[in-house]
Amino acid sequence: GGVTKKIEKIPDKIVKQAIKNDSVQNTETKASVPKLDQKRIDMMPKDTLNDAELILFIKKIHAGVEQIITKEEKEEASRAYVAAKSLGKTSNGMSNISTNLYLSGHAAHAIYLLGKECSSSPKHANNLNNYAALIIMAGGEQAAIPILQNLNQSFPNNSTILNNLGQAWYGLGAMNKA
């Protein structure tokens, strides 16, 4: 309520300048819609993974992450995982640590740590969803979609899962699915 009372006191000149700046900024930074990336779409399993297949898929994705992150990142993230587990951190706690790592600029550490946790606790739906979100933000939409499709089957119409699915399909340029 306090904001709306103060808005009317802003001089018209400042409002017009803000609108002008916003218009210029939007035309300069306007993002285009991603092109359909059929190659990455074709990399995905054709059918929704069952729970047993999902476990193997997550382990495969995690093994791929291990291959692409630097040796130092892997060692640091592995030490963080072992230390957190030795302190008795739950699966939820591991998710929180991963989120904090991501937010502090350590995306590779976050993905590695949460992937390791998902590999050892593959039925923790919240972690799987968060892992898929991290993968999407790292440009691995084709790896996240099978995880999210499995979750969507178990938790139909969950807005968070559906949002992440939409983001992943958007990243692959599949606008109708997004």
Residue type present at position 62: H
The average confidence (pLDDT) of the chain is 90
Residue-level pLDDT at 19: 75
For 26-35, 78-87, 98-107, which range has the lowest pLDDT when averaged over its residues? 26-35
Token pair recorded at residue 143: 């790896």
Q: Of 162, 149, 169, 31, whose CA–CA distance to 178 is shortest?
A: 169
DSSP state of 98: H
CA distance 70 to 47: 33
Residue-level pLDDT at 22: 67
Residue-level pLDDT at 2: 45
8 Å CB contact between 113 and 93: no
- Residue range 94-117: average pLDDT? 95
pLDDT tens figures, 121-177 = 999 999 999 999 999 999 999 999 999 999 999 999 999 999 999 999 999 999 999
- Residue range 93-114: average pLDDT? 95
Residue 1 banded pLDDT, cuts 50, 70, 90:
very low
Residue 89 banded pLDDT, cuts 50, 70, 90:
very high
Residue-level pLDDT at 177: 94
DSSP code string of 66-90: HHHS-HHHHHHHHHHHHHHHHTT--
Of residues 54 and 26, more confidence is placed in 54
CA distance 150 to 135: 16
Helix, strand, coil shares of the chain, percent, nearest 5, are 75, 0, 25
Residue the block writes with tokens 């060692």: 75
Of residues 101 and 12, more confidence is placed in 101
User: What's the half-sphere exposure (Cβ side, CA atoms, 13 Å) at 166?
Assistant: 7
* Predicted confidence (pLDDT) at residue 5 exceeds the cutoff of 70: no
Residue-level pLDDT at 13: 80
pTM: 0.81
* Predicted confidence (pLDDT) at residue 30 exceeds the cutoff of 90: no
CA distance 110 to 96: 10
Residue the block writes with tokens 């309520």: 1
Token pair recorded at residue 78: 């592995």
Looking only at Cα atoms, what is the longest distance across the chain?
63
